[in-house]
Amino acid sequence: MKPYELDIPSGKKVYFLSDFHLGAPSQQESRVRELKIIRFLQAIQPTAHAVFLLGDTFDFWFEYRYVIPKGFVRIQAAIAALTDAGIPVYVFTGNHDLWMFGYLEEELGVSIIKEPTVFTIDSRRYLIGHGDGLGPGDYTYKVLKSIFTNSFFQWVFKMAPPVIGMGIAQYWSRKSRLTNQDDRYMGDKEYLYQYCKTQVESRPVDGFIFGHRHLPLDVPLKKEVRYMNTGDWIRYNTYVTLDETGVNLCTWSNE
């Protein structure tokens, strides 16, 4: 079987969730959210055929050669428990945690994916990704992303002591989060909706599953093709499932 082909056994599901932003806005609030997500991951383990984390798992992440951001040990252990149980976990980089260079793959056994990717799941094709920088507009971020993903810039950043580099990056991360929060659904003006509308006309896909927008969305595009957004775990605790009944947008709470 090819790496990006999945056949879901009866009684199993594929889970998609994103935008935990662990580390923000404070250690205390982040810890509460982290423990909630861990309870969810533990709860779905018996039924999970695969788990997709669609970006911004961390509010900031950067892997130096010998240093990673402190904290997040509990969530990493919960992810490792899934892969140790034979459940594949696909981690997509988001705009807040795009600097993943192999540590999580080596330590947790996950697959890191940096671009929107087509997965064939039960013979249906889904374009899956974080969603940042797609569609029209947002040109400032698109320029910044091209800089942030440049290997020379990353090398320069690594040369700075972590206390300086991570301080700058965390300031930028906070600024980005505060300036891009928008609870309003913009309909046809949504960048990701416009991107999906364009893609569905030019490539054979059966659905789109993204994060990034922080709004749980289930938007029809044409016939049975839908654009699904997982929402976030800051306000909504929402996720998407895919099983023999189809694709579904769900909300979790065991409080």
Ranges of each domain in the chain: 8-251
Q: Give me the numbers of helices (H) and strands (E) for the chain, helices first please.
A: 7, 12
Report the side by side order of strands in the sheet with 89-92.
Answer: 111-113, 89-92, 48-53, 13-17, 238-243, 246-251
Cβ proximity of 235 and 42 under 8 Å: no
Tokens for 85, please give them.
């149980």
37 contacts 192 by C-beta, under 8 angstroms: no
Model pLDDT, residue 179: 46
Rounded Cα–Cα distance for residues 34 and 55 (Å): 15
Q: What is the pLDDT of residue 90?
A: 98
Beta bridge partners of 207: 126, 226
Read off φ and ψ for residue 192, nearest 5 degrees: -70, -35
Q: Quote the pLDDT of residue 100.
A: 94
What are 252's two structure tokens? 């979790």
The rounded distance, in Å, linking the Cα atoms of 234 and 118 is: 27
Candidates 3, 16, 2; CA nearest to 209 is 16
Question: Collapsing DSSP states into helix, strand and coil, what is residue 195?
Answer: helix
| Phi-psi category of residue 183: left, alpha or beta, with phi > 0 → left and psi -120 to 50 → alpha | alpha
CATH of domain 8-251: 3.60.21.10
C-alpha 34/C-alpha 22 separation (Å) is 7
> In tens digits, what is the pLDDT along the chain, a chain of 255 residues?
456 999 999 999 999 999 999 998 888 999 999 999 999 999 999 999 999 999 999 998 988 888 888 889 999 999 999 999 999 999 999 999 989 999 999 999 999 999 999 999 999 999 999 999 998 887 777 787 887 788 888 888 778 777 777 776 666 666 565 445 567 888 888 999 999 999 998 888 999 999 999 999 999 998 889 999 999 999 999 999 999 999 999 999 875
Q: pLDDT tens across 34-51, in order?
A: 999 999 999 999 999 999
